Structure formats: structure tokens, C-alpha cells
């Protein structure tokens, strides 16, 4: 058995969405902060990302997280998020997966009934409170990065769809939030190809007309997510089909999307602080969220979101690259 590259991982899924947690085989990435490390990875390590998430080792909806030494003294681990669309500043379901893996593999000091894990991410410090019983991580509550509304009732002209009305919000990534029935499609997995195509068209149009950018870190920019709301969604219980660039659906309710949705609802005066909000995925799994405070992000009014979900370890693996492998960086079909 030959290997030009060897990477160890613990695979998990969070409410249906995979997270491949890279525990070995990747050294410290250059950068004084995780944001700088993400910038370096975007410029120099994309072949590694593709090796881990694309076929034949991954798939079109693969997601992962590379563990790193933290760059700040108040964090236990640093995390660099990877998925089919690139290197993310933050990933909610991925962080739940990371926290679960760290606890159940003993990579952090575990206390019961709750273990707090502080993670240094490109979007900022994220605190994960893990409910632990008999060594098992039963659920994880994340205090996410500051989230905020960017635009309400914005419109964009989309070829084939006409004028589409959307709200834009940030919860670690930018989300165009669209009522699905306004574009004439049902909340039906049998129509998923049409919904996904509409989402990609909306992303392209939004980025061409009014590309969002974070007021503090301009590297966090662009809309790669469209959160399609099912009919009947409201400020206590929302259902979504989350279309993501370059062409897949989030299987989980989406953690950063839940944060963005709560920020949008709060900006509209519909979701008060300390009020339970349930966000349901396209496959019926759920996160429960709440807003625990207000703040400001680069001068913009913002909220402090928390959400709770579950993850399960599915495998431990060592991924190898044979020197003769014709797909050293994977492929996309």
C-alpha cells in the first residue's frame, strides 16, 4: 500500500448532513488568525479541500472541518471549514459535528453533564456547550457569531423567474431568504431539481446586482445560499429548502442559516429575544434556536444567536493518495 498523502478523519453527520472532521495529516496552516488561515487556504490549499470532499472520496454534498491549533488563548481548537463550495468562514452543522467528535474521542477534557468547547473559526470565536451523559454527546448548543439583517424586501431580476423578492441576512454566511411559493414552486422534494436550479439562478443574479460583503472582513462576501421558505413558515416554526452553490441542498436545517433567519425575523420585529424558534430542514430534521442578546457588527445592528442540534459519529478513516491515482484532487461530475 503506497501513499503520497495520508489524512486521518472522524466522520459524522449532524441531523443528516455530513461533517468529515480532519484530525491528522494536515499541519498548522500559516496565519496569525483563523481568518488569515482561511485566506491562505483559499489561495494555496484548494487541492487538499478537493481531495477530501470531492469524488471519489467525497460527494457533491460533502462537508468537513480541518482541526488546527487555535490562534487565540481563549479557544480549545481552531477550525477551518471545507465543503463542495470552498472554504467557509463558519459552518453551524459542522461545528456541532466537530464538538461531538472532540468530546467522544477525548480530544478535549470532558465533564458531565456539560462540556464547553471554544472554537476559533474564521468568523470569530464560537462556543459549543455539549450535553454529555455516560461519555456520549447527546446534543450541542452553539453560541454563534454575531448575525444581522442586510436588506429587507430587496428585489432582483432573475432570468426565467422574473422579479424575485428576498431578504438578505448574515449568520456566518450570507443568505438570500425567499418565500418558495412566490416563485411558483411547491415545497416538495420531488421538485428538488427545479428548486435547486432556481436557487442557483437567484444567487447569480444577486451577486451580479448587489453582492453582499461583511462590514469587518471583506473576504466574507457573496451569496452562496438561498433559503427557500415553505408556505406557512413563521417566527416560531420555519421549514426550509437550503440551496447551496455549486448545486446541492443542505440536509440539516443549516446552523448559520438558522442564525441568519432569526436575525431576519428579529429585524422585522417578529422574533423577540429569548424566544424559542424551530428551524426544519428539507428532510424534516430540526434545530431549535433563540436570540440571547443584541450587539453591533461593524456598525450594523446585530443579534447573538444560539441553536441546538445533534450529531452522530459514523466512521473513523484514513484517507490515502496513491502516487498513481489519476484523480489526486478528486473530480466533480
Residue 98 in contact with residue 119, Cβ under 8 Å?
A: yes
Residue 17 in contact with residue 252, Cβ under 8 Å?
A: yes
Q: What share of the chain is helix, strand, coil (3-state, %, to 5)?
A: 20, 45, 35
Closest alpha carbon to 63 in 29, 94, 100, 108: 94
Catalytic residue among 53, 79, 244, 254, which? 254
CA dist., res. 47 & res. 2, Å (int): 19
Task: For residue 254, indicate whether it is catalytic.
Answer: yes
Element (H, E) at 319: strand 311-321
Task: For residue 223, indicate whether it is catalytic.
Answer: no
3-state secondary structure of 266: helix
| CB hemisphere CA count around 4 (13 angstroms) | 11
Catalytic residue among 91, 164, 226, 302, which? 91
| CB hemisphere CA count around 65 (13 angstroms) | 34
Closest alpha carbon to 250 in 310, 194, 192, 326: 192
* Angle of CA points 159, 165, 166, to nearest 5°: 110
- Strand bridging mode 237-244 / 277-280: parallel
Q: Any idea which residues carry the catalytic annotation? A: 91, 254
Amino acid at each position: 500500500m503506497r501513499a503520497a498523502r495520508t489524512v486521518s478523519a472522524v466522520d459524522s453527520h449532524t441531523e443528516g448532513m455530513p461533517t468529515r472532521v480532519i484530525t491528522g495529516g494536515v499541519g498548522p496552516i500559516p496565519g496569525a488568525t483563523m481568518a488569515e488561515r482561511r485566506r491562505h487556504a483559499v489561495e494555496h490549499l484548494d487541492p487538499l479541500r478537493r481531495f477530501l470532499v470531492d469524488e471519489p472520496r467525497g460527494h457533491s454534498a460533502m462537508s468537513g472541518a480541518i482541526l488546527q491549533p487555535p490562534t487565540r488563548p481563549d479557544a480549545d481548537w481552531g477550525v477551518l471549514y471545507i465543503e463542495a463550495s470552498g472554504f467557509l468562514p463558519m459552518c453551524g452543522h459542522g461545528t456541532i459535528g466537530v464538538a461531538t467528535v472532540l468530546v467522544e474521542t477525548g480530544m478535549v477534557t470532558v465533564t458531565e453533564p456539560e462540556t464547553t468547547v471554544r472554537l476559533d473559526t474564521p468568523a470569530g470565536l464560537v462556543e459549543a456547550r455539549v450535553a454529555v451523559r455516560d461519555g456520549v454527546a447527546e446534543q450541542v448548543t452553539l453560541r454563534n457569531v454575531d448575525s444581522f439583517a442586510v436588506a429587507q424586501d430587496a428585489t432582483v431580476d432573475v432570468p426565467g423567474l422574473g422579479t424575485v423578492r428576498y431578504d438578505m441576512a448574515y449568520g456566518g454566511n450570507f443568505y438570500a431568504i425567499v418565500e418558495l411559493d412566490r416563485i411558483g414552486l411547491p415545497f416538495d422534494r420531488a421538485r428538488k431539481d427545479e428548486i435547486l436550479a432556481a436557487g442557483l439562478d437567484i444567487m447569480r443574479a444577486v451577486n451580479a446586482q448587489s453582492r453582499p460583503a461583511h462590514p469587518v472582513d471583506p473576504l466574507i462576501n457573496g451569496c452562496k445560499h438561498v433559503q427557500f421558505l415553505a408556505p406557512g413558515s413563521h417566527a416560531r416554526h420555519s421549514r426550509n429548502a437550503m440551496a447551496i452553490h455549486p448545486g446541492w441542498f443542505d440536509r440539516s436545517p443549516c446552523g448559520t442559516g438558522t442564525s441568519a433567519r432569526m436575525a431576519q425575523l428579529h429585524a422585522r420585529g417578529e422574533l423577540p429575544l429569548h424566544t424559542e424558534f424551530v428551524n426544519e430542514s428539507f428532510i424534516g430534521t430540526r434545530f431549535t434556536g433563540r436570540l440571547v442578546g443584541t450587539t453591533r457588527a461593524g456598525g450594523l445592528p446585530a443579534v447573538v444567536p444560539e441553536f441546538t442540534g445533534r450529531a452522530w459519529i459514523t466512521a473513523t478513516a484514513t484517507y490515502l493518495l496513491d502516487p498513481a491515482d489519476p484523480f489526486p484532487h478528486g473530480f466533480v461530475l
